[in-house]
Amino acid sequence: DVKVTQSSRYLVKRTGEKVFLECVQDMDHENMFWYRQDPGLGLRLIYFSYDVKMKEKGDIPEGYSVSREKKERFSLILESASTNQTSMYLCASTSGTSYNEQFFGPGTRLTVL
* Spatial separation of the C-alpha atoms in residues 21 and 79, rounded to whole Å: 11
Q: How far is CA 9 from CA 12, 56, 91, 108, in A?
A: 10, 25, 12, 5
3 lies in the site for another protein, by CB under 8 A: no
| Cβ-based neighbour number of residue 64 at 10 Å | 20
Site size for another protein (CB under 8 A): 27
In the complex with another protein, which residue's Cβ is closer, 67 or 102? 102
48 lies in the site for another protein, by CB under 8 A: yes
Q: Which part of the chain contacts another protein (CB under 8 A), choosing from 12-20, 61-69, 70-78, 85-93?
A: 85-93
| Cβ-based neighbour number of residue 53 at 10 Å | 10
For residue 77, the number of C-alpha atoms closer than 13 Å in the C-beta half-sphere is: 9
100 lies in the site for another protein, by CB under 8 A: yes
Near another protein in 21-40, by CB under 8 A? 31, 33, 35, 40
Q: Minimal distance in Å, beta carbon 34 to another protein? A: 12
Cβ neighbours of residue 67 closer than 8 Å, sequence gap 6 or more: 74, 75, 77
Residue ranges in contact with another protein by CB under 8 A: 31, 33, 35, 40-45, 48, 56, 58-59, 88, 90, 92, 94, 96, 99-104, 106-107, 109
